[in-house]
Amino acid sequence: MTFAYPSAASSDELRLLEPVSITHSNLHFKIIKVPRTGSPKYTAVSDTWGDGEASEIIYLNNQQFRVRLNLWSCLHYVGQHAKIIGVRLWVDAICIDQNNMAERNSQVRRMDETYKQAAHVSVWLRLPSIPDFVYWYIADHQKPVRTYEDNSFDWCDHLEDLANRPYWSRMWVIQECLLPESIILFCGNSMMPWIPFRGILCREVGIVEHEELRAESFRTPAIISAIASFKALPLVMARDLGNLPECPQNFYDLLINHHLAECKDPRDKIFGLLGLLASRERSVLERFFPDYNLSVDHVQIIALAHLLQTSIVKATPTITTESNELFLGLGVKSGAPARGRLLRLAGMERFDYLGTYAPGQVVWDLTESENLDRQRFPGGTSRDDDSDHKGVGLLPAIVPDPEASVPPGFWETIREFEKGPRGGRRLGLVAGLIPVVAAVALVCWRYGVLRRPGT
């Protein structure tokens, strides 16, 4: 029987896995739902989801549940340790119903709390490198490599490999490593607490004393070179600096600093940073995020609008199509025309970011604005002038001739209306008045008000 979640988990609840039986062939867990307040002790798993199909089977409440090969291996070893020390496990791919969008949104919104409140975080760095003779033996028997024990495994000897594994390039690992109080790293059946791992890595790059790990250390030539050789180093240093959560960064700086971080879903380039923000800026962004009902395009537009239209960070540099690191941080890899389009749609003339939105209204507004943009810029082309950032927003598509003879004050009134009061619902109101404006324009044309001389 395939597992089905009996009921949704609210934002005030967690699902946890309780190890029942862990063997080399089968993994059995009991899955329970508990309140966040006063929940049993648990370890939050931090891993890479990996590629490929969910080919392996585990059992939740004696029902089959499919997972990817890497997660099966992780649950085998981390589950063994959890059972020995008497804690439950929290695993996002299992404990969040990925097919329930409302649950997914509410749980991701509180992901930072999930990691902060864990007894410790279990970082899974996958299995040790398997010797060729073992690998070929397993391959000959056509079995997936789910477990591999290396009882003589030495973390120092394998440091370069471990510190450059794909795990360290993940977007979500930023908050998963910086927010919890305690971390244990796993590589197969071998484990090491965070502090000893930090020690051997820092010694390898010439940082010995704890006091040397200051913010300016990131900018020294030696550290810049070391970061190129050890992907884990920036997170090790950032955690040791104690920057979070006491001194969170602003949204712009986080996008720039982590623009190379990777994730399967481009929207997570933005959602994965929310837990690292100061409460004031986070509360503004959380009016919209996280919401996996939004398209990638809409998430990027809203994030850009936040940077363009708020004054939370007064020192934010001017954003142009040449702001490469910022656009990479937003998950935009394409060139200037696509970036120009996003900037147009994120501008105040098109999207009132600080407005009050009813559920679903923001998607309607953004979609309407995109439709207009396609009409004005066929094929996604852009213009060098800034005429698209002037005028009356949506209205030129209805009354396209602002140079015609019109009643005194007509266009001034329209422009004033389009600007609207701060925090108003300009786009929604304008869209709602389009039929009215069209009718007025038709009447004016009928009686000669909008006609050119000689027509």
Please measure the distance between the N-terminal and C-terminal CA atoms of the chain and give it in whole angstroms.
76
Q: Which tokens is 366 given?
A: 């953004």
In contact, 280 and 312? CB cutoff 8 Å: yes
Say what the pLDDT of residue 202 is: 86
Residue 348: which of 262, 297, 410, 421 has the closest Cα?
Answer: 421
The mean pLDDT values, 10 residues at a time, for the chain of 455 residues are 91 98 96 96 92 92 96 98 98 96 96 96 94 69 82 95 94 92 97 94 75 54 76 82 59 90 93 91 93 95 92 74 94 89 86 79 80 70 38 29 38 42 41 45 44 43
Phi, psi of 230 (to 5 degrees): -135, 100
Say what the pLDDT of residue 429 is: 41
Ramachandran area for residue 66 (φ above 0: left; ψ -120 to 50: alpha; else beta): beta
Integer CA distances (angstroms), 363 to 106, 323, 327, 431, in order? 19, 26, 21, 13
Burial of residue 33, with CB atoms counted within 10 A of its CB: 0-12 exposed, 13-18 middle, 19 or more buried: middle
Burial of residue 413, with CB atoms counted within 10 A of its CB: 0-12 exposed, 13-18 middle, 19 or more buried: exposed
